[in-house]
Structure 1
Amino acid sequence: MTGWLAIAGLGPGAEALVTPEVTAALAEATDIVGYIPYVARVAAREGLTLHASDNRVELDRARHALEMAANRRRVVVVSSGDPGVFAMAAAVFEAVEAGPADWRDLDIRVLPGITAMLAAAARAGAPLGHDFCAINLSDNLKPWELIEKRLRLAAAADFAMAFYNPRSKARPEGFDRALDVLRDACGDDRPVIFARAVSTPEETLRVVPLTEATPEMADMRTVVIVGSSLTRVIPRDGAPIVYTPRSAPE
């Protein structure tokens, strides 16, 4: 048996949003590797071993997966959303670059998934309809000073912005600081979308002006999207439609 390693995105939560390509890889796998809640989304079956591990051990997880693939196992490393967006694909390739030379010759595939910001944007309308950027607000792997610099530059460039990992129990003050930076840097009252647990039974969607956004509106299951200066809100019964026009004035 020839081993391989697939790095797969399970999408934002709903089974309907898992791609057929990922479903096929899961069906062929001998081993599933990932963070505990993501591995829990894969059904147990005969011949499949589940390797669940805690958060913040991404490189250990990646090395374990590569070792098994080198030993002719068919391994799927699972992430939520898309594995290349603030997830396990980069960790696996960091391990490949630093690891044994023969790991570079393994059959390694990245299987894309629907990342949280795209699912959130679709629920709201089309807030990412023009130029946008994505920023991870966690300062676990980069200093806060770099986060603030990127926030200010993105605001100056008038991007719509999607934020991952906005507010955790361990660092609740970070998102408060980010909102302060945005209010100072944006200079207008653009819409902010708080999309929590999109595509799951716990889904909530809230749209507020930047001046009314508060840290408590977000947690680690929330994607926050801040519109550009051109982003529009169409009022209607129920949730409004938020979109960013396809063109920008000269």
Structure 2
Amino acid sequence: MIRRLFPEDSNQFNFLKSIFKSFDKEFIDRLELFFPMWCMFAFQHYLVKSFDIIIFKRMAIDLNTNYIFSLIKEDWIGIVNIIFHTILFLWLMRKYDTFGPFRTVKSDFQTNFLLFLAIYALIDIFIFGKMMLGYFLMSTVLYLIYRSDSYISLALSLLLTIITMLLSISFNEPILATGSAIYLPFLVFSLIFKSKNLIVYAQKYLPLIIFIFIATKELWFGFIGFSYFLFFNMFYYFSLKRKYDFLRLDQA
């Protein structure tokens, strides 16, 4: 669609090309890497609105596990939280670029930041309680399938995904219960056929599936995700003249 609206020989294409070319590639790589982190913060926002979490009891929140497509004034808290952490981590990555977790994945083909996010989710269990356990497990799965495509990594990822599904069902938590169930076939087929393409699909579709189900609860996050994909589609088209390979966090 973007190609049809802005063909390469048009003046509009050249104008937008100059804008997107002005962005620092390292900044773009880091920003692209933040999508799983944004999903985590949106998921936490959903937990606060849906479940009885001890640390938030004094806020007198009207809990509702059945809402969909939320777009209320309190959702600004989630938006501000994402913006704040994005600015904070961009600054930390720039200032402490030699610190392992803040090195850009696409620069050194390591998965340090994904491991950092998994540890972040683990720590958040002490804040959000057992409801955060499933997200920690799925964050670990994302790290494992990027870290290695070995049978051990895939088998462990499959096991953790099954545990997440069972835990989420027992907690009556629909996002990860449904998301992990839909994601299971990606891991099963990757494990059986050991196909590189299937493993790539498993890497890409895990954050996408989680995003879709969070967006059914938090409509505001759906707009953020849509803006994310639109921006990177435009960036790769105008600056690099190639199709955006969405959520390939290890590919320059």
| Fold match (TM-score > 0.5) | no
Pick the TM interval, shorter chain.
under 0.3
> If each structure's strand is expressed as a fraction of its own residues, which one has the higher value?
1
> If each structure's helix is expressed as a fraction of its own residues, which one has the higher value?
2
Task: Compute the TM-score of the two structures, normalised by the length of structure 2.
Answer: 0.25
Task: Compute the TM-score of the two structures, normalised by the length of structure 1.
Answer: 0.25
Higher relative contact order (CA 8 A, sep 6+): 2
